[in-house]
Amino acid sequence: MESCLAEMTVSSILEEAFVGDPFPGHDRINHTLADLQVIVRQQRPDWRIALEHMKGVYVIHDQTTGARYVGSAYGDTGIWQRWSTYATTLHGNNVGLQELVPDKGEDYFRVNMKFALLEFWSMRTDDAHVLERESYWKEVLNARTLGHNKN
């Protein structure tokens, strides 16, 4: 650092501190658990508004092993609340992911687990449809046989 400090220049100073990436769109989410933890902790309104009134099917992809977990958000909670549970617990109270935390550790989860939406709908969508699509994606992505889904 000291060897190149004299050559550095400040190109700009932001008016506000950087608080993470703005909401990229439902079809462009590919964020680590660490990213989600920052977003949830800061209660980013752009993310919250976009996700709290949506049901959906999501995948959590382990970047190191390639194993997947497929889950869904339905009922009255929406995607925001479901993902907030992951931000708080690391595992979202899922048995397959809970088993990994002691072995892999918290830092592993924050860095390696990436979240993406596979499908998303309004809160008016029937829960049975969401659960049917979740089951479909578990089969397609081999989440039960090669991933972390236990059901």
pLDDT averaged over 10-residue windows placed end to end, the chain, 151 residues: 81 72 94 96 95 97 97 95 97 94 95 98 97 98 96 89
CATH of the domain at 95: 3.40.1440
pLDDT attached to residue 75: 92
The answer as to whether 34 is a domain residue is yes
Give the CA distances from residue 17 to residues 14, 22, 143, in Å, rounded to whole numbers and listed in that order: 7, 13, 39
The answer as to whether 50 is a domain residue is yes
The answer as to whether 30 is a domain residue is yes
CA distance 144 to 70: 9
The answer as to whether 84 is a domain residue is yes
Structural domain that includes position 123: 26-140
Measured from the Cβ of residue 92, the count of other Cβ atoms closer than 10 Å reads 18
The answer as to whether 37 is a domain residue is yes
| Number of domains composing the chain | 1
Residue 135, phi then psi, degrees to nearest 5 = -60, -40
The answer as to whether 35 is a domain residue is yes
The answer as to whether 12 is a domain residue is no
The answer as to whether 112 is a domain residue is yes
